[in-house]
Structure 1
Amino acid sequence: MARVQHAKEANKKIQPKDQKGNTQSKGKQELAKTAAKREPSKNEIMFFRLGMSIIALALITVAIIFTVEYFMNKEEEPGVFDDYISITAADLQYLTGYDDNSGVYGDFTYFAGQESYEELFELINTNTEIYIFFYSSSNLNDEVVNAIKEADLEGKAFFIVDLDTEAANLTGANYDHLNLDLERTNLLVTFDVELQEFTIELRVVDIVRELGRI
């Protein structure tokens, strides 16, 4: 009998430990639930938004820098005919048009004394032949471009007209004597000032040949 009572007393002593363990386990579960449900504070939300704003601003700044650099580099790229004097339809009229007062083709006095035409004026007064090349900047012919680059045009009265921008202005009677075929994208007109004669080359092969003779 003494042994049985001793065993019962031992069991009674063990039971409180189990209850304590259960209590701790329940406490941890409730704490975990409480921690999971905790919402971010106002300061945390503010810092999060601030961080996202800084990142967005940095991305926008980088995009702007790359865009500006792209267009700056694009503008700095030299054009195919940047080394040659470009003229407009109005310039061409004074350069080759018939002057009723003098009775000759070409009113060179229009270009005199104008700073923007200083080089052109010098060239037309030191050459007896004037060359006007008509081209389409959106449809360049590589063979003609290479022929121009290889030609000895230093000191020659060689001028260019972009048909993409000037074709609509070349349809008047003032240009009939040039016999321009505006359906083409490459034309070369030679104006012999002394003989008062105009010749025009329409085919690429003829233009290349004439450029080689200049």
Structure 2
Amino acid sequence: MLLFVAGLISMSCVTLSVLSANDGRDALLYKVDIFLPPKEGRDEIADILHIQETVKDLSDIDVLFSFKELGNPRIILVLDVEKACRWPKLTGFLSSKGYEYRVTSLYHVSDFAQELGVNLSSDLWATSFENHRLVMDRVVFPEKDLSTLEYNEMLKWTLERDAAIARTGQQMTVFRALGEYPLELIYFGPVTQHRIEEYEEYLHGPRDFENVLTRIENLDHYTGQCQGD
């Protein structure tokens, strides 16, 4: 997977007008992927826990979700930046530590669904996860030969199916990645054998969606110790 790692200087110079642009969203939501490059003598566990505590203490930046990729030194944060002027506190900290990071603007699925004419109540979606057996799924919807109407109908069908799954008690939360084309949805939720079978049926049917699954754990539960399956 090709990674666009945001340059330390360019990210520190993101302008206030870009971060605070009125694009119809109720909040400035971002997914921040932080990568700890190999370094001799690095205490990975200590660094990860330091990042966790530092981000929690940043004023006007609310941590909605925080995860660690299983088996790799990568942290995944979903943040609500309440005041754009606080953003340099985060980028400045990451820059000072020499961490590589990538930022993706997000749009909550309920707001996106509303634009498509689908009413998805915000209380359908999980706001926290207790289970450390989690998965992040990035699902891309290729346009192929679909018309705009057909493409939107495919998205509406997908969101309605997601809502139906959530109503059965399956914990999940979903975001749209802004600026990505073809359109990309990002799912977070517990992984179960039943859920894996649903993915197989759902994603590899006639619509032939593209998806990348990543096993993650809740950062609040991270200890650096091996977790049994």
Q: Relative contact order: is structure 1 or structure 2 higher (C-alpha 8 Å, sep ≥ 6)?
A: 2
- Higher helix fraction: Structure 1 or Structure 2? 1
User: Looking at CA atoms only, which structure, 1 or 2, has the larger radius of gyration?
Assistant: 1
Range of TM-score over shorter length:
under 0.3
TM-score by length of 2: 0.21
- Higher strand fraction: Structure 1 or Structure 2? 2
